[in-house]
Amino acid sequence: MCGICGFTGEILDREKILKNMSDVIIHRGPNSDGFFSNKDISMGFRRLSIIDLQNGNQPIYNEDKTLVLTFNGEIYNYKKLKEELVAAGHEFYTNTDSEVLIHGFEQWHENLLDKLRGMFAFAIFNIKDNSLFLARDFFGIKPLHYTIVDNHLVYASEIKSILQFPKVEKKFNKNALDKYLSFQYSVPPETFFENIYCLLPGHYMWFKNGKFKITRYFDPILTPDENLTIEEAANQIESVFEDSVRTHKISDVEVGCFLSSGVDSSYVSTYFSGQKAFTVGFGSNEKYNEIGFAKKFSQKLNLNHYSKEILSEDFWNSISHVQYIMDQPLADPSCIALYFVSKLASEYVKVVLSGEGADELFGGYNIYHEPVSLYKYQKIPKFFRRALASIAEAIPINFKGKNFIIRGSKDLSERFIGNAFMFSEKEKKKILKESSIATSPQDFCKKFYEKTQDYDDISRMQYLDINLWMVGDILLKADRMSMANALELRVPFLDKKVFDVARTLPGKLKVNNKNTKIALRQAAAKHLPKFTAEKKKLGFPVPIRIWLREEKYYNVVKNIFNSNIASKFFNTEVLNRYLDLHFSGKEDNSRKIWTIYIFLVWYNIYFNS
C-alpha cells in the first residue's frame, strides 16, 4: 500500500516539486520513497512495505526500461499472472505484485485490467512514445486524482499532493458545495477544487501530446437470477467468500481485522482464529459502543481482541486533522471513528481486513427495505397518494406514519438519491447565500435510474449506491483513515469473484419483511452464532445527536455558525435556527448541522489558513 504522484512535461525545479508532492503524502508510505524523472515525466512514490519487503521499491521497470510504473494497491492473483507472463518470455527481477503490472501491461495493454483481481491505482509511462496510462480499480477502493494545467497532466493519490504543483491554482468549486449539501460527500468526478477531478472507478486514462481520453472498462451491472434458491446462493457465497478472504490475507507482514457487532466484519473475523481483531466505541450505551459484544465474540472465536473507548474530547479534537487528511469535507461522523480504530490497529499490525462493500453488494442497508414496506401502499393510485402526502406535509407537527405517507407518494427516483440525503433543493435555496447554485439531487441521479429501468427497485438502489455512495463516502474514508495511520485496509467483499455471485441475487434473497442481506446472512450463519448472523444493520454509530445537545459542543458549533466564513456561504439565521431547535430537543437536526459544520471546518483548513 502506497501513495503515488507525478506530472508530465518540463518545469523549473521539477525534482524539488516532485519531492514536495511525495512528502505531503508520506503517511501513505513511510517506509521509503522512489522517483523517476526526465524531460517528459516526473513520477513519485511513497511505500508502505507489505510484499517482497527487501526488493519491492518503486518505480518498477520492464526489461529494457522503456516502461516505468508507480502503483498503489495490491494484486491478489499476481502469482498466477506471473506464471503466464514468465511462460510468455518475460523476465522478473522482484517477487512483487507491482512487477506483474508492468510486464502484464507490456503483454496485454489495456486488457490487463480485465485479468486483475485486487485494488489498485497506477501510472505507467512509455518512454518510447511519451504516453502515460492511468488506471483505477473496479469499485474505487484506491483513489486517484488528476488535473490538467498548461498542458501538464498532474496526478496523485491525494489532492493535497496535486496542490503542491506550482502551476495549480487552488480555487474553491462552489458546485461541489451544492452536491455535498444533498449527498454529505463530494460527488465524483468533481471535487471541491476547481479543475481537479477524481478518476472514476473502473476507468482508465491515456494522456499523450497534451490530450487525454478516459474509458470505462468495468461497470457493476447486476444480473438477478430469479430461479436462484436461498440454499444455492448461500453455498456460492460461502465458497467464494472463503476464497476471497484467503486471497486477501496474502502478505509478508501480519494481518489483522476490524470487528464490530455486525454480520459483515464478524463473518470476516471467523477466518482469524488466534489472530488480532480491533474495535472502538463511545461511552457505555450499547447503541454507540460495540466493544462489549466484540469482546465476547472474540472469546468464542479465540481472537486476540484490542479495543479503545473514544472520549468525546478526543473525537472533537481530531476533527480538523481528519478533515485535512480527507482532502474534502465528509459529513459522515463514522470516518472519525474509523480513524481511531485504524490508529489502534496500526500499533499492532500493518494490514487489516474489513467489511466494506457487503451492504452495497448484498443489499444490507435498512433503507433497502423501503420497497418491501411500501409495496402494498403503492398499489393505491398515485394521484390519491399524492393528495394524502400534500395533506400530511401541510400539518406542521410530526405524527406516526407521516414520513411513510410522504415517501410512499413518490417514485423511487424521487425519494432515493443514496444512503445519505441531507438537504433538498428547496432547503438548499433557503440556507445558501448564493441560492442559484442549488440544484436537484434527483436530476443528478437520473442517469443511473435510466440505466437500470429493467431492475427491481432494490437493485436500482444498490446500483446507485455502488456508483455514488460507496465511492464518495465508504471507500474514500476507508482509504484515507487507514492510510493516515500507515495501515493497509483490505476489503474481501469487494472482490471481482464475490461480485460475480452477488450480482446474480434476486431481490427476495437480499431483503424480506424481517431483514436485509438474506443470502449473505445464511452463508454467515454457518460460521457465526445465530444472534450475530441475524443482527440488524447498525453501522458505525456516533452520538453526534447527543453531543449537540450538550452546551459545550453546542457552543463550538454556534461559534463557527456565526463566523465570517459561515456568513460567506450561508444565511446564518437559518443555521442558528437548526442548531437551537436541536439543542432544545424540539427537532433532530443533528445530521444537517453536522454537514454544515464539517464543511466550515474543512474550508477553514484549505482556504482560510
Kindly list the catalytic residues: 5
Q: Which residues contact 330 (CB under 8 A, 6 or more apart)?
A: 184, 185, 186, 323, 473, 476, 477, 598
- How many Å apart are CA 225 and CA 510, to the nearest integer? 12
DSSP conformation letters of 473-495: IIHHHHHHHHHTTT-EEE-TTS-
Give the DSSP letter of residue 21.
Answer: H
Query: Where do runs of H (alpha helix) occur along 159-250?
Result: 159-162, 174-183, 230-248
**According to the 3-state scheme, what is the secondary structure of 387-410?**
HHHHHHHHCCCCCCCHHHHHHHCC
Distances (CA, A) of 439 to 190, 319, 330, 426: 15, 28, 19, 9
In 3D space, the residue among 536, 544, 179 whose CA is nearest the CA of residue 367 turns out to be 536
C-beta separation of 70 from 123 below 8 A: yes
Rounded to 10°, the helix 174-183/590-606 angle is 150
- How many Å apart are CA 284 and CA 350, to the nearest integer? 29
Q: Which three cell numbers stand for residue 475?
A: 471507500
Cis previous bond, 329, omega within 30: no
Kindly state the helix (H) or strand (E) to which residue 81 belongs, with its residue range: helix 78-87
